Chain A
Amino acid sequence: MPLLDPLRGLWRRLLTWDLLPTPGPEGARRDGAVERPWRYYWDHLPKRTAGADFSSRDYQEARQRAEEVARTTLGEELWHRLALDGHLDVKSRRYPGVTYRLRVGRRIEVVCANGVRPPWPYPFLCINPTYPLPELEFFAQLFLYARDREDLLVRVAAPQPWDQRLGRTF
């Protein structure tokens, strides 16, 4: 239909210019050997999933690789401490007497020393990656943020009254 041609043309140009956001799984398939998830949006995925194109084997392999890289990221000493304690504590440099307790796949627990007033009204901080990651992998990344970029962590953290699993990890 001739009347629709200009609209079709505009649509093609929008896609060509990449002005519309591309959904993650579809975009990642175009990336070839190495997926670059920061290029796409992932908010439409159900919680704790990596996309409809992911098989149970994909999940299993991703979790195995995540363990390797989390261990590399943290180093052996912290890795063993995590295995022993089930969590890692990072002392706040910004709030004296406050410690961030990081647990795999869960919200950060804010632990205050006796007599210290909590900086937030609730004891849990919800922080997710902007694209899906295996829990262990994101745990190691969150540790780096807590230790090296507390300012950013504080800026994005969403205080919550209860503990819960994270939604963007699996």
Chain B
Amino acid sequence: MGRIIVANRRGHQLIEWDADTDTEEARESILEAERILREARDKGCAVSRKVGTKHVLDDAPFDPKVEEYQIIAPIAGG
């Protein structure tokens, strides 16, 4: 299972997908995850990816085989 941690005022909420199951539902969940990641990036968010036991910021396109992404809030001064 892969997941996106959407950091928001709720603390965080999860979007999950299964890259190992070949069903219409599984394919749709992967497409939805990809859409959300793209939309967040287009709106100025950064994205981190879990590497080993910690997260690193990541510019690479969505990869359904990645275990965990996180959407990082844009930052502003002041």
Q: Mark A41-72, 1 if CB is under 8 A from B, else 0.
A: 00000000011001000100111111011001
Task: Let me know if B9 and A127 touch, CB within 8 A.
Answer: no
Q: Are B40 and A38 in contact (CB under 8 A)?
A: yes
A39-B54 Cα distance, complex, nearest whole Å: 27
Task: Tell me the dominant secondary structure on chain A's binding face.
Answer: helix
Interface string of B50-73 (1 = CB under 8 A from A): 101111110000000000101111
Contact residues on B (Cβ < 8 Å of other chain), bracket:
35 or more
**Is A35 within 8 A of B8, CB to CB?**
yes
Cβ of A76 < 8 Å from any Cβ of B? yes
> Is B54 in contact with A130, judged by CB distance below 8 angstroms?
no
Of B44, B73, B76, which one neighbours A141 at CB under 8 angstroms?
Answer: B73
Binding site for A on B (CB under 8 A): 5-15, 36, 39-40, 43-46, 48, 50, 52-57, 68, 70-78
Between A and B, 9 residue pairs with Cβ closer than 8 Å are A35-B13, A126-B77, A129-B73, A130-B76, A133-B7, A137-B12, A138-B73, A144-B56, A148-B56
| Interface contact B46-A34, CB-CB below 8 Å | no
Count: A-B pairs, CB below 8 Å: 131
Cα of A141 to Cα of B71 in the assembled complex, Å: 9
Number of residues of chain A lying within 8 A (CB) of chain B = 50
| B77–A127 CB distance below 8 A | yes
Q: Which residue of B lies closest to A156 (CB)?
A: B77
- Give CA–CA (A148, B13) in the complex, Å: 24
CB distance A61 to B10 under 8 Å?
yes
Asked if A38 and B43 sit within 8 Å, CB to CB, the answer is yes
Q: Does A15 belong to the interface (CB within 8 Å)?
A: no
Report A90-146 residues with CB < 8 Å from chain B CB: 125-134, 137-138, 140-142, 144-145
